[in-house]
Chain A
Amino acid sequence: GAVVSQHPSWVICKSGTSVKIECRSLDFQATTMFWYRQFPKQSLMLMATSNEGSKATYEQGVEKDKFLINHASLTLSTLTVTSAHPEDSSFYICSASREGANNEQFFGPGTRLTVL
């Protein structure tokens, strides 16, 4: 089946630093990937749509200068949390769809970000 990976699986950083999270579709090409954020005991919230070769589309209320998204290739999208602060601590999840896969969205395993 289609596999989506994320790296790192967890990261701890100091306040003010930037953190990059990678999302890769391992065995299929994804022209579009999606980034979600999930706080403890809450549901997933869509942050942005990552488009290969073009700018990302952000959901209302998500700061595009804070969360930089780069879709460098058909198998890689990156999310950079710039100048991270403790309130950015969350579980970040990406997803991608594979053509012909019954419209199934394949999710990555998530990245736990903790900002001290």
Chain B
Amino acid sequence: LAKTTQPISMDSYEGQEVNITCSHNNIATNDYITWYQQFPSQGPRFIIQGYKTKVTNEVASLFIPADRKSSTLSLPRVSLSDTAVYYCLVGDVTTDSWGKLQFGAGTQVVVTP
């Protein structure tokens, strides 16, 4: 699995857009990029997954440049409830070993009023 690097923490105010960039220089051809959110004392929750270009769902957008060596999770108009740790993971989702997720340190996002 490709190693990922994220900022340790990010602060934001309510209503702002938060962009978290993850570096994954050694991403392989079959690897997908997946982001999870974790609140204290809870299991991680799937946010979004993508392979290239841009993916958008009801909670976030994921931007992936052509070289796929990085990706950016964009959280539009954050609220206090978006305060959490966000993890970027890279791996081949088509294999049986996909579930063996290797979590990096994650990014602690703190949203204040």
Binding site for B on A (CB under 8 A): 4, 6, 32-34, 36, 43-46, 49, 91, 93-97, 102-110, 112
Contacts and interface: CB of A to CB of B under 8 A. Distances in A.
B103 A45 contact: yes
Interface string B83-96: 00001000001101
A97 B98 contact: yes
A44 B45 CA distance: 13
Interface of B: 32, 34, 36, 41-46, 49, 87, 93-94, 96, 98-106
B7 to A, nearest CB: 14
Q: Is the interface of B mostly helix, strand, loop or mixed?
A: loop
A109 B44 CA distance: 8
A108 B44 CA distance: 8
A44 B93 contact: no
Q: Majority SS of interface residues in chain A?
A: strand
Nearest to A44: B103
Nearest to A43: B103
Contact of B93 (A49, A94, A103, A107): A103
B105 A43 contact: yes
B42 A95 contact: no
Contact of A91 (B41, B101, B104): B41
Contact of B100 (A34, A107, A109, A112): A34
A95 B36 CA distance: 13
Contacts of A45: 103
Contact of B99 (A93, A105, A109, A110): A105
